[in-house]
Amino acid sequence: MFCKDAGKTLCPAGSTKSAQEGAWYDACSTNGANDYPYGDGHQTGYCNDSTSSAKALVSAGDKKDCKTPSGVFDMVGNAREWVDACNGTAQTEECATRGGSYADDSGGAQCKSNSQLAREMGLPTVGFRCCWLPPGDGG
């Protein structure tokens, strides 16, 4: 509802089975070219993952190197992000989160990271990102 009120949508993710599809993954990986927003190999401390000294959430954009070539910050690390990929509509149904959090290592905090959580779950390591899609682009 927050995204809708802002004239945006929860970022589309494709299916919950594959983390390597959908608008969220395309933005994070530069259309599949990279494993991390900034490139193909993990760089210690670039993003707020378990290799960072923060060990907690940081403000969006604080990690200046954790961005895509197009300038989108924090696609991995900091907080896993809910995406629009759920197995149903009930509160107990599982939905996908992507990108890992500050608690995840370099394997969990990358563009292809995919975790399932119950829709009703609230954790300090999980947030969301709103996306704007051009008219006619379903992600």
The whole-chain average pLDDT of the chain stands at 89
pTM for the whole thing? 0.86
Q: Are 109 and 50 in contact (CB under 8 A)?
A: yes
* Total number of domains constituting the chain: 1
Query: How many whole angstroms separate alpha carbon 41 and alpha carbon 53?
Result: 19
Cite the beta strand spans of the chain per DSSP E. 9-10, 80-86, 94-98, 114-118, 126-128, 130-131
Q: What angle do CA 19, 115, 123 make, to 5 degrees?
A: 140
Give me the CATH number covering residue 127: 3.90.1580.10
Range of the domain at 47: 1-139
Q: What is the pLDDT of residues 22-60, one digit of tens each?
A: 889 999 999 999 999 999 999 999 999 999 999 999 999
Backbone angles phi, psi at 104, to 5 degrees: -95, 150
